[in-house]
Amino acid sequence: MPVTAPDLSRGPGARPAECRRPAVGVGIGAKPGPWRRVRPAHGPRRNQLIPRHPEPEGILANPALRRDTEQVTSKPSGLDPAVTERIGRLLRAHGLRRMPSRIQVLAVLEPVNGHLSVAEIHQRLTACLSAGTQPPDLATVYRTVTILVDQGVLHALTLDGGVTTYGLATAPHHHAVCTQCGAIIEVPARQLSSALEHAMAGSSFALSERAGLTLRGLCPACQDSVQDLGDATDPRPPR
């Protein structure tokens, strides 16, 4: 009886062709097919490396749009692109990233010649952003202004009632606080520099570069209202 030589091309332990069973049927109850290794149509090969974390989809999947992991966008909705670009340069000059909340807060404070509280900043943000754009909540606004104060972009001023207000730290200035409505107006430091130098000439106290005065009085709007009220209650007949 002739002896069939084993098929060494299929590797050690491979079954001869006559020992393989053909596949019969498909699905549940079908008999097993031939004992052979089938490579799946889809999936990694044996030597292919599988990433531990899949690549994210959307904006982070595009290298041109992905700057960091803090969901940075090019410009928040509802703001002038020129304002967004100018504020972005200011943040980069202080070594800060262009986060939407930072750009939005600075865009609100930029046209204000004074200070605003966190509640006022949040209120103006809600009004200026376009419909459908979710404004940052009060906690986010508070964290944002705290970081900007620490980095020297903003400075804080606490009023008599304990409310802290925030303004841009662009140039040295003093603060004029209205005692009636609480409005804060920034006065350039150079307008009072000579008076301060004359007042400090007789002392050995040295003022810092960020030294500022808090002046109290009435803002122009409150002056007009007080004058109108005085005219209305004046018993003297007009001349």
Q: Is 178 annotated as a binding residue?
A: yes
Q: Which is more confident, 24 or 90? A: 90
| Residue 110 shares a structural domain with residue 162 | yes
| Residue 111 shares a structural domain with residue 126 | yes
Strand 173-178 and strand 164-168: pairing?
A: unpaired
Q: Which is more confident, 79 or 232? A: 79
Q: How far apart are CA 162 and CA 152, in angstroms?
A: 22
Task: Output the CA–CA distances (angstroms, integers) from residue 157 to 10, 65, 214, in the order listed.
Answer: 83, 37, 9
Range of the domain at 193: 171-231
Q: Is 128 annotated as a binding residue?
A: no
Q: Which is more confident, 58 or 104? A: 104
Q: What is the pLDDT of residue 29?
A: 54
For the segment 180-202, what is each residue's pLDDT rounded down to a tens digit? 887 877 777 666 667 767 777 77
Of the residues 121, 144, 170, the one at which a domain ends: 170
* Pick from 212, 207, 208, 169: nearest CA to 192: 212
Contact 102, 144 (CB under 8 A): yes
What's the pTM? 0.51
13 belongs to a structural domain: no
Number of domains the chain is built from:
2
| Residue 106 shares a structural domain with residue 127 | yes
Q: What is the mean pLDDT of the chain?
A: 70
Comparing 44-48, 56-60, 202-206, 207-211, the range with the smallest average pLDDT is 56-60
Of the residues 138, 170, 202, the one at which a domain ends: 170
Q: How far apart are CA 76 and CA 98, in angstroms?
A: 10
Of the residues 170, 190, 213, the one at which a domain ends: 170
Instruction: Tell me the CATH number at 105.
Output: 1.10.10.10
Q: What is the pLDDT of residue 176?
A: 82
Asked if pLDDT for residue 45 goes beyond 50, the answer is yes
- The DSSP result for 93-110, as a single string, is HTT----HHHHHHHHHHT
For the segment 145-192, what is each residue's pLDDT rounded down to a tens digit? 999 999 989 988 887 788 898 988 877 777 788 888 878 777 776 666
Instruction: Tell me the CATH number at 197.
Output: 3.30.1490.190
For the segment 214-228, what is each residue's pLDDT rounded down to a tens digit? 788 898 889 888 776
Q: What is the mean pLDDT of residues 36-59?
A: 48
Q: What is the pLDDT of residue 149?
A: 92
Q: Which is more confident, 204 or 230? A: 204
For the segment 68-98, what is each residue's pLDDT rounded down to a tens digit? 323 333 344 457 888 889 999 999 999 999 9
Q: What is the pLDDT of residue 77?
A: 45
54 belongs to a structural domain: no
Asked if pLDDT for residue 58 goes beyond 60, the answer is no
44 belongs to a structural domain: no
| Residue 151 shares a structural domain with residue 183 | no
| Residue 76 shares a structural domain with residue 157 | yes
Q: How far apart are CA 141 and CA 166, in angstroms?
A: 11
Q: Which is more confident, 64 or 26? A: 26
| Residue 131 shares a structural domain with residue 188 | no
